[in-house]
Amino acid sequence: MEQVEPRALRARLVWPDTSLYIMTALLLVLGFYIVYPVLLITINSFNVAGIGAASRFGVENWRVAFQEPGVLGALGNTLLLFALYTSVSFPVAVFIAWTLARVRLPFSYGLEFMFWVAFMIPPISSTIGWMGLLDPDLGFINIGIQRLFPSIVEGPFNVFSVPGIMWAHLMTRAISSKVMLLTPAFRNMDSAMEEASRVSGASTLKTMIKVTLPVMVPAMVVVFALNMVRLFESFEIEQLLGVPFRFFVYSTKILDLVQSEPPAYGQATALASLTLGVIAFIIPLQRRLTERRQFTTVTSKFKPGLINIGTWRFVVFGLIVLLLVLLIAAPVFSLVLGSFMTRSGYFEVTPVLTLQHWKTVLADNLFAEAFRNTFLLAGTTAILSPLLFSMIAYVLVRTRWAGRSLLDSMIWFSAVIPGMLSGLGLLWMFLDTPFLKPLYGTLWPLVLVVILQGKLTGVQLSKAVFLQVGEEMEEASLLCGAGWLRTYFRVWLPLIMPTMVLLGTFHFVLAASTTSSIILLATRGTMTLSILALEYASPGVALREEAGIVSLFIVGLTVGVALIARALGLRLGVQHN
């Protein structure tokens, strides 16, 4: 009989691969933090008992929600608006991103940064700014036109209309977010491909359409999908501009239910679940578009380079600057000027200007603490999120581990419940979980929530970038004996640094401005600037100018951090000199 050494015997036993442990840990941990709150909210939606009564389960909430008059109309309005502003914002953003990343343009990095600044401005501030300009009766632009041309009796622009809402979306984040997310991907383009196309006789435009854009499909699909999944979250613009002329979108219907007395969370959840349909459409589309082809643009033979378009670059430069003026000037003007006005938008009161609002904010003993909490919260998120999500993206794209589809689907699934409902699920999760309960009342739940809040964007964007980078550099590193971690930090990180910086900044902005997902977990001691601004703007407090000042501080903080991060990131990323 064969004698088997114990060591050999152990070697013959089938030990699970390390990948299995890692994937299991990822699925369990992320599954718990992502899926559990969604499940809690969803299960609650089937509880049809009255308030104070013992739980009773049924489908009444779902039936009532979808039978509400106007729901289908609101859904139609949502899709119409989305189609309108996306059909404009997407091609414009793609063109701008291509221009900033691929064309020799003056101050291209500075212009790109200004799109980041535009993204950092709270949408509500921008919308209020445009209301002040385009209100048909009171807007400054309309009044100015009527004074210049007395024959015009009615202001030509009306912000309280479908075109007005579309304009507000374009002027808030519809364009800036896409430019911000697409530009780094375009920058990772090997110019050799474009050179080959032009050498073959193709024009710059034809090269862009036939060569550059097809290779950018993963990034563009991700950006489009991320916008689509947020379809039912946007409500601030529609609240201000749509409700007065009886134009309702799906998210305002959900918000109505959340804000009713008592709140109808069950019905709101039922309506929000429609996002599942959107996700069910996006996931296979995304996989179909990205798994069949090669999208490598960064290889060991990567050649940086920019396209020269001659004097056209000044025309393009001018157009981009004009767009930035529209994106930034109106809201910043509204915010800054408003903060010094006795009442924002009123030039007929005495005194018109005052420092009182600034004094109120700076003297508020909550302000300093909120500033500190925001910096801690957003700073931690900005550092940890890109690292965590890029590693998850690596697993999804660069490995063949079992369970990847499930992990990817789980991350998409988390977008089912919008922020106005997810806060409740997260509160229940922390209070119902023994090992999380001791954290309740501290800053830690907020840190955890804001880190995970950006998981969809973080993972999907990182995936798009990983698809661009060739395998040979990683293989070379591993062949030289470097372990995975060393390869990740010495090879991968520099290559994807611009995207990491982008994600860090994006998550910083998100963390600094988030309210709905953390407000139920925040206490007076763990208040953030965004919650303080919300409190200032609430009807009972009615200090909107002070809320605007706090928003300015948030923007200032994020701009400052973004500047530093970009300076570091651009030095380490792929150079295009």
**Could you list the residues that contact other proteins (CB under 8 A)?**
50-52, 68-70, 137-138, 239-240, 243-244, 246, 248, 256, 258-263, 342-343, 345-346, 348-350, 424, 427-428, 431-432, 437, 440-441, 519-520, 522-524, 527, 531, 535, 538-542, 544
CA distance 313 to 148: 35
CB of 154 to other proteins, least distance (A): 14
CB of 455 to other proteins, least distance (A): 23
CA distance 278 to 456: 14
In the complex with other proteins, which residue's Cβ is closer, 171 or 532?
532
In the complex with other proteins, which residue's Cβ is closer, 262 or 310?
262
CB of 542 to other proteins, least distance (A): 5
CA distance 344 to 48: 45
CA distance 4 to 10: 10
In the complex with other proteins, which residue's Cβ is closer, 222 or 330?
330
CA distance 237 to 77: 13
CB of 553 to other proteins, least distance (A): 18
CB of 133 to other proteins, least distance (A): 14
Residue with tokens 């110019």: 191
CB of 544 to other proteins, least distance (A): 6
Candidates 225, 341, 238, 338; CA nearest to 278 is: 225
In the complex with other proteins, which residue's Cβ is closer, 338 or 498?
338
In the complex with other proteins, which residue's Cβ is closer, 5 or 348?
348
In the complex with other proteins, which residue's Cβ is closer, 434 or 481?
434
CB of 269 to other proteins, least distance (A): 14
CB of 127 to other proteins, least distance (A): 10
CA distance 396 to 389: 10
Tokens standing for residue 350: 């005495």
Cα dist from 141 to 166, 171, 238, whole Å: 18, 16, 21
Integer-rounded Cα radius of gyration of the chain: 26
CA distance 364 to 147: 43
CB of 257 to other proteins, least distance (A): 10
In the complex with other proteins, which residue's Cβ is closer, 454 or 548?
548
In the complex with other proteins, which residue's Cβ is closer, 317 or 444?
444
Position 24, amino acid: T
CB of 556 to other proteins, least distance (A): 23
Do the beta carbons of residue 186 and residue 97 sit within 8 Å?
A: yes
Q: Please, what's the b/e burial string for 519-558 (b: 16 or more CB within 10 A of its CB; e: otherwise)?
A: bbbbeeebbbbbbbbbbbbeeeeebbbbbbbbbbbbbebb
In the complex with other proteins, which residue's Cβ is closer, 349 or 368?
349
| 350 φ/ψ angles, rounded to the nearest 5 degrees | -125, 125
CA 41 from centroid of its chain's CA atoms: 23
Tokens standing for residue 224: 């489009």
In the complex with other proteins, which residue's Cβ is closer, 216 or 521?
521
In the complex with other proteins, which residue's Cβ is closer, 50 or 110?
50
In the complex with other proteins, which residue's Cβ is closer, 195 or 364?
364
3-state secondary structure of 1: coil
Tokens standing for residue 459: 């993972």
DSSP for residue 417? S
CB of 549 to other proteins, least distance (A): 15
CB of 499 to other proteins, least distance (A): 36
DSSP per-residue codes, 291-351 = HSS----B-TT-----B--TTHHHHHHHHHHHHHIIIIIHHHHHHHHHHHBSSTT-SSSSS
CA distance 361 to 541: 13
- Which residues lie closer than 8 Å to 170 by C-beta, 6 or more apart? 85, 88, 89
Candidates 182, 233, 111; CA nearest to 499 is: 182
